[in-house]
Chains A and B, each alone.
Chain A
Amino acid sequence: MRAVKFVAGRFAGMVLVLLIVSFITFVVFYVLPSEPAQLACGRPCSPQALELAREFMGYNVPWYQQYFDFIGGIFGGRTFGTGQAAIVCSAPCFGYDFQNNADVLDEILSRVEVSVSVAIGAAIIWLITGVGLGVVSALKRGTPLDRITMAVAMAGVSMPAYLAGMLGITIFAFGLDVVPKNGYVPIGEDVAQWAWHLVTPWLVLAFLHAAIYARLTRGQMLETLGEDFIRTARAKGLTERKVVGRHALRNVLLPVVTVFGVDLGLLLAGTVITERIFSMPGVGMLLVDSIRSLNLPILLGVTLFAALAVTLVNFLVDLFYGVLDPRARLT
């Protein structure tokens, strides 16, 4: 019963967060001085042609009406224009991209595979290497290995993603010529090529994130190893492996998992810079392209998608707490 209440509460919270995000985004994009119908007006654009474009796109009504139309579209779908060439955006309609003639939701969903591929692969690598190096560093505190690991981690934390991406592509693709220069191959088309094209983005992203996780894990591990319950475990005669693996690591992972939830959520919603540098047509690239072309429906859609990804992953992380910490278990 407690679990049902928890899930229901979190679900309601998610819906509320999405509503707030959609409202703020809508206000920011639509209330600021802008004319989204300009691009659909053609050139030359007469005042009459501009008004026709606004009417067709639904921008000829007050902004709050536009917001209600948007929310209404999610539940009931929307139709733009009339007659044989009318555009039907079926529910759940998160808006229509007039520049590319596509349903916003379809467009985002068509990019999810790429973003998920980039995010999950990188996350696995950084979680294993970051946490692993952090633990080893803590256990070998003060040794050259610890110092080198932390120095490399510091470089990773300080390096902008753009620079890391360009270095990765310059060294591995152009310099050593061992990986593809850019592009994405769908997993359903060729698994090996899929992985091969993703190796450099994975490594670049993993390097940037692993650095943070290594530092975080090391700090947490050092703190935990000084706790009373670790002393008790050691006093009970447990092996060091059990002390570290079963008792210390479990505690260390709690904050790591919290950060991981946010990071993975954001990454699933698109790795803007990495996708752009490696020409990966994911959600992040869609966002960049939409900003460049002032594609407001897509911007709104991607923002909502990002909010959904972050809240959803965080919800899963909350559930996972129970696995790590019996006190947080739902019954």
Chain B
Amino acid sequence: MKRRHSLAGIAAVAVLLAACGANDKPAGGQAGGDVKKGGTLYLLSDSPTQQYDPARSSSLVVTGLQFVHRRLTSWKVAPGQDTTIVPDLATDTGKPSDGGKTWTFTLKDNQKYSDGSTIKSADIKWGLERSYAPAFAGGLAYHKDLLSPGLTYKGPFEGGQELSTIETPDDKTIIFKLARPYGDWNWVASTPAFAPVPKGKGAEANYGEHPIASGPYQIDKFERGKTAEFSRNPHWDGKTDETRPANPDKVIWQFSQQTNVISKRLIDDTGEDKNAFGISFASPAQLAQIQSNQSAKSRLVTSESGALAYLALNTLRGKLTDVNVRKAFQYAVNKAAYQVASAGNAQLACDAATTLVTPGIAGREQFDLYPSKPEGDPAKAKELLAAAGNPNGLEGLVLVTRAENNWPKLAESVQSSLAASGIKATIKPMDEETFTAEVQNKPNPDYDLALVSWQPDIPSANANIQPLFQSTEIGGGGYNTARYNNADVDRLITEAQATVDQKEAAKKWAELDKKILADSPVVPLIYTRNSYLHGSKVGNVQIGRFPAYADYRQFGIIQ
């Protein structure tokens, strides 16, 4: 639920702030001229800090954590292309065996930390073990239950216990024995916890402020609320790293910047701000200002699509337990009105969504089970409601939304479009924390409808579907906000997760996408787009088809 640069989860407030970007359609998501090695890159952030402890970080592969840490695998991101998995510290993207239950990785030769010591397979294991210690929880945890079912393992700091499901027969080999077959394990191996931490180190709570670097940069200075400064890691070997060109000599991250001031600095484009990139999404209000400035407009980069914004229907509540009633919502919602509420103009907004799997994910199939105009089809909705025994529509539904930013406005657009189909809903705005508690934690929450969005953590349909629709994700901190519980879908999710052949897995996920939507637990609204502004000397600012975030690793300074 974090906004800022946790960059994933229910991609909360800011994703929709910049939803669909009130600007022209993106032209390939790339900007900037030729870059050369050298110079200082400035990253301007409204966030007070950044987490550089690999166990505790939930950053995506394209963001700043990658300056400091390498992992077993990485992502190859290019504009207009699906993101692919590539080796990072490992020689390949992993060898599955035992039907996908065992995965073996081999480390490349002579890879070193910033202190000159060699990176060993035991360090990857130690980093993962460390992530189980309660003091270092909070990051992406896709590996946890697969390596320690039921979370019986509590980390290496209490009694020196090791995780028996990870084997390191020599310094370069690491073998994972999973609890069940898992085809996306090589994607999971690209998440932050798979970064090496020298065995025995990292017991201190603030390790993230001075981690030992395996990536191209090391942290020279870290001040929460102010700055993080990076210089080159002298022992990093670029020849072994195919995803990090590491162009700038220095990177300076400026925290806690006011968003309007960031925009103004970048629009003005003077002095060191020419070398700066704005990490915060450009909001619709800022975009209007940028549109009127030719120079700034040329330095704006927008993603093709992004997080899935959707209306969750609480499938355990009242009339919404009836699938035929839920289907009426697919026609009742006016997606064009939602686009206008997000971007001010439907022409400027991204396309209306009809699938659960977001664009840019390999194997995604485009389909529409409930074809209608983006404006919806109130007549059809009324017809379906009547057929389901509700000739007078529905009354007294509760629509929960966050109270911050433009969420209430978005909720109003949904509310009025539902009203046109005879569905009367009351909007219940909540602050972020209460909203999270309501939709994620309460066993019996008081809502019928919830307005949310989701950005998967890895470019796999698995990360799109499993967290939102598996019954194990209902309550207790899970993201199944529709409270969707279908034993058949649960079984098929486990089956698709176990499929090692990616083409075969993609087919299964596409089928699941359709199968779940046939039960109509959610109404897909739009695939939100993100826009970023940067200075005139920053080059290689590119956004791939996934994720909807610029790939910081590629940035360089135009000399």
Give A contacts to B, CB under 8 Å. 32-35, 38-50, 52-53, 55-56, 80-87, 98, 100-102, 107, 111, 166, 169-170, 174, 181-184, 276-279, 281, 285-286, 289, 292-294
Are B225's CB and A174's CB within 8 A? no
Q: Which one of B144, B145, B265, B432 contacts A181 once the chains associate, using CB atoms below 8 Å?
A: B265
Taking CB atoms, residues of chain B closer than 8 Å to A169 are 261, 264
Are B203's CB and A40's CB within 8 A? no
Given contacts A34-B434, A41-B137, A279-B257, contact A46 B159 (CB under 8 A): no
Are B203's CB and A85's CB within 8 A? yes
Ranked 8 nearest A-B pairs via Cβ: A47-B476, A45-B477, A83-B158, A56-B134, A281-B225, A42-B141, A85-B157, A289-B48
Given contacts A43-B140, A289-B256, 6 further A-B contacts (CB under 8 A): A33-B434, A41-B137, A44-B479, A53-B134, A82-B158, A102-B206
Q: Mark B213-234, 1 if CB is under 8 A from A, else 0.
A: 0000000000111100000000
Are A285's CB and B48's CB within 8 A? yes
Complex-state Cα separation, A204 to B226, whole angstroms: 22
Size of chain B's interface in residues, with CB distance under 8 A?
Answer: 64
* 8 Å CB interface, B224-246 against A: 224-226
Tell me if B436 counts as interface (CB < 8 A to partner A). Answer: yes
Q: Mark B453-478, 1 if CB is under 8 A from A, else 0.
A: 00001000000001100001101111
Complex-state Cα separation, A47 to B159, whole angstroms: 25
Between B58, B223, B225, B475, the greatest number of chain A beta carbons within 10 A of the residue's beta carbon is seen for B225
Complex-state Cα separation, A85 to B477, whole angstroms: 25
Q: Which one of A46, A56, A83 contacts B477 once the chains associate, using CB atoms below 8 Å?
A: A46
Taking CB atoms, residues of chain A closer than 8 Å to B261 are 169, 181-182, 277, 279
Given contacts A34-B437, A84-B203, A294-B432, contact A174 B268 (CB under 8 A): yes
Are B203's CB and A279's CB within 8 A? no
Tell me if B447 counts as interface (CB < 8 A to partner A). Answer: no
Given contacts A35-B437, A83-B159, contact A52 B257 (CB under 8 A): no
Given contacts A35-B441, A38-B440, A40-B138, contact A46 B151 (CB under 8 A): yes
Taking CB atoms, residues of chain A closer than 8 Å to B437 are 33-35, 38
Are A43's CB and B141's CB within 8 A? yes
A179 to chain B, nearest CB (A): 13
B31 to chain A, nearest CB (A): 24
Complex-state Cα separation, A293 to B48, whole angstroms: 9
Given contacts A38-B436, A49-B141, A85-B203, contact A44 B264 (CB under 8 A): no
Tell me if B78 counts as interface (CB < 8 A to partner A). Answer: no
Taking CB atoms, residues of chain A closer than 8 Å to B203 are 84-85
Are A43's CB and B433's CB within 8 A? no
Are A38's CB and B1's CB within 8 A? yes
Taking CB atoms, residues of chain B closer than 8 Å to A111 are 225
* 8 Å CB interface, B1-31 against A: 1-3, 8-9
Given contacts A46-B151, A182-B261, A277-B258, contact A285 B135 (CB under 8 A): no
Tell me if B136 counts as interface (CB < 8 A to partner A). Answer: yes
B289 to chain A, nearest CB (A): 13
Q: Mark B136-166, 1 if CB is under 8 A from A, else 0.
A: 1111111011000011000101110000000
Are B137's CB and A52's CB within 8 A? yes
Are A46's CB and B472's CB within 8 A? yes
Q: Which one of B224, B257, B466 contacts A100 once the chains associate, using CB atoms below 8 Å?
A: B224
A-B contact pairs, 10 of them (CB 8 A): A32-B434, A42-B137, A43-B58, A47-B477, A53-B134, A84-B158, A111-B225, A182-B257, A281-B226, A286-B48
Taking CB atoms, residues of chain B closer than 8 Å to A55 are 134
Complex-state Cα separation, A111 to B432, whole angstroms: 26
Are B157's CB and A34's CB within 8 A? no
Complex-state Cα separation, A53 to B151, whole angstroms: 12
Are B258's CB and A182's CB within 8 A? yes
Are A42's CB and B440's CB within 8 A? no
Cβ-closest chain B residue relative to A29: B433
Cβ-closest chain A residue relative to B463: A44
Tell me if B419 counts as interface (CB < 8 A to partner A). Answer: no
Are A42's CB and B58's CB within 8 A? yes
Cβ-closest chain B residue relative to A165: B258
Tell me if B133 counts as interface (CB < 8 A to partner A). Answer: yes
Q: Which one of B3, B139, B476 contacts A50 once the chains associate, using CB atoms below 8 Å?
A: B476
Taking CB atoms, residues of chain A closer than 8 Å to B515 are none
Cβ-closest chain A residue relative to B3: A292
Cβ-closest chain B residue relative to A86: B135
Are B145's CB and A46's CB within 8 A? yes
Taking CB atoms, residues of chain A closer than 8 Å to B472 are 46
A185 to chain B, nearest CB (A): 11
Cβ-closest chain A residue relative to B268: A174
Given contacts A38-B1, A43-B140, A46-B476, contact A166 B260 (CB under 8 A): yes
Between B135, B155, B457, B467, the greatest number of chain A beta carbons within 10 A of the residue's beta carbon is seen for B135
Are A42's CB and B140's CB within 8 A? yes
Are A81's CB and B135's CB within 8 A? yes
Cβ-closest chain B residue relative to A57: B134
Are A85's CB and B258's CB within 8 A? no
Tell me if B438 counts as interface (CB < 8 A to partner A). Answer: yes
Are A38's CB and B9's CB within 8 A? no
B397 to chain A, nearest CB (A): 20
Are B157's CB and A49's CB within 8 A? no
Tell me if B106 counts as interface (CB < 8 A to partner A). Answer: no
Are B440's CB and A43's CB within 8 A? no
Between A32, A33, A170, the greatest number of chain B beta carbons within 10 A of the residue's beta carbon is seen for A33
Taking CB atoms, residues of chain A closer than 8 Å to B139 are 42-43
Complex-state Cα separation, A251 to B114, whole angstroms: 67
Are A44's CB and B467's CB within 8 A? yes
Given contacts A43-B8, A43-B58, A100-B224, contact A53 B256 (CB under 8 A): no
B61 to chain A, nearest CB (A): 15
